Amino acid sequence: MPDIIFSRDHKKRVSRAVFFILPLVFLSMVRTDSATGYVLDGRHVLELMLDHLNLPDRIQIEQTLTIFDERFDSGRKAIRQTISYKIPGGFRSEAETEDRRRIYLAAGDKTLTVVDGKIISQSSEALVHYKDLFCYRHRKSLADHLRCLGINVSMSSYGRQEETIVYVIGAQYPDSAKPQIWVEKSNFLPTRWFYQPANSAIGQDRIEFRYKNWQQREGRWYPYRIEIFKNDGLIRKIEAHRININPIFSDDFFNIDHLKAVYTAPVIEGRKPGSENDINHQIEKFREIFEPDR
């Protein structure tokens, strides 16, 4: 009889131990912040963010890009743009002024810039990285891309943006020196991205993207206002006017090789041969406005 009693008591003690140990094991798997409690892993936050954005396969947006620059008489210049997304990784921007037409195309890790029928660059533009959060639907693809841009996607902490609690992916708040993305805790919408150009060692300044005026269309979320800062100064403002969900694009619309073939030999219609140097000078000025960080 004593052996039976001992056995039952032993089982009870084991059960109690398991009851208390299992929660501790679970909690040890969750990142913690000493001031604010438990924090989700950054990759999990990205997954919840993408789930909430509910991005479609294709998007086309008519928007106005305002460039703030003292070289303009009024200190700013507004340019109409049409941008298009094709998930995963496809992005195309088309802009026209009174005398210039510009196409910027990104497909995966390849990019191409064409101005007035001339291929002027095959390098990525730092100021266009605001698009990256809308080019992927799956967490792994986005996380891999952000990791290549220097963000430690597994690191996360709680932060505060004015009165709003945010997840800070890539840094321990309030450390703002590291590349990082802020995502609202309440709705998982991104609000800020501190982007550090890869060649910052040669003098390129950190860029900050701010996502505002989020609106929902056909169950999809997109910011109707994006602000771009450098050295805490506003240098770009993007305002969306019309969003088209899942438009039809031609097969070659996002094809960089096709665009290269079309514009291999520069053709400038309506120009005299003797004006080629002037054309190149004007294109370079146009390029400096759009690509100040190249």
Residue 84 lies in a domain: yes
Bridge partners, residue 60, by sequence? 84, 244
Determine the pLDDT at residue 108.
Answer: 85
pLDDT band at 198 (very low <50, low <70, confident <90, very high): confident
Task: State how far the alpha carbon of 292 is from the alpha carbons of 13, 166, 201, 235, in Å.
Answer: 69, 31, 16, 10
Percent of the chain with pLDDT over 70: 75
Structural domains in the chain (count):
1
pLDDT band at 283 (very low <50, low <70, confident <90, very high): low
State the CATH number of the domain containing residue 63: 2.50.20.10
Determine the pLDDT at residue 7.
Answer: 52
Determine the pLDDT at residue 83.
Answer: 98
What are 230-255's pLDDT values in tens digits? 988 999 999 999 999 999 999 999 99
For helices 42-53 and 139-148, angle between their N-to-C axes, nearest 10 degrees: 120
Residue 10 lies in a domain: no
Q: Name the residue range of residue 83's domain.
A: 33-268+278-290
| pLDDT of 15 over the 80 cut | no
Residue 263 lies in a domain: yes
What are 38's two structure tokens?
């438990």
Q: Whole-structure pTM over 0.85, yes or no?
A: no
3-state secondary structure the chain: CHHHHHHHHHHHHHHHHHHHHHHHHHHHCCEEECCCEEECCHHHHHHHHHHHHCCCCEEEEEEEEEEECCCCCCCEEEEEEEEEEECCCEEEEEEECCCCEEEEEEECCEEEEEECCEEEECCCCHHHHHHHHHCCCCHHHHHHHHHHCCCCCCCEEEEEECCEEEEEECCCCCCCCCCEEEEECCCCCEEEEEECCCCHHHCCCCEEEEEEEEEEECCEEEEEEEEEEECCEEEEEEEEEEEEECCCCCCCCCCHHHHHHHCCCCCCCCCCHHHHHHHHHHHHHHHHHHCCCC
> What does the pLDDT average to over 249-274?
76
What's the burial of 245, exposed, middle or buried (CB within 10 Å: 0-12/13-18/19+)?
middle
What are 215's two structure tokens?
């609106």
Which residues have a Cβ under 8 Å from the Cβ of 223 and sit 6 or more positions away?
211, 212, 213, 214, 215, 240
Distance CA 184, CA 202 (A): 33
| pLDDT of 29 over the 90 cut | no
Distance CA 152, CA 140 (A): 13
Residue 172 lies in a domain: yes
Task: State how far the alpha carbon of 105 is from the alpha carbons of 209, 248, 258, in Å.
Answer: 20, 17, 11
Q: Is the sign of the CA dihedral 199, 204, 205, 209 positive or negative?
A: negative
Residue 12 lies in a domain: no
Q: How many Cβ atoms sit within 10 Å of the Cβ of residue 70?
A: 7
How would you classify residue 246: left for phi > 0, otherwise alpha for psi between -120 and 50, otherwise beta?
left
Residue 211 lies in a domain: yes
Residue 273 lies in a domain: no
Residue 25 lies in a domain: no
Unique residue bearing structure tokens 């039952």: 8
What are 289's two structure tokens?
């406005």
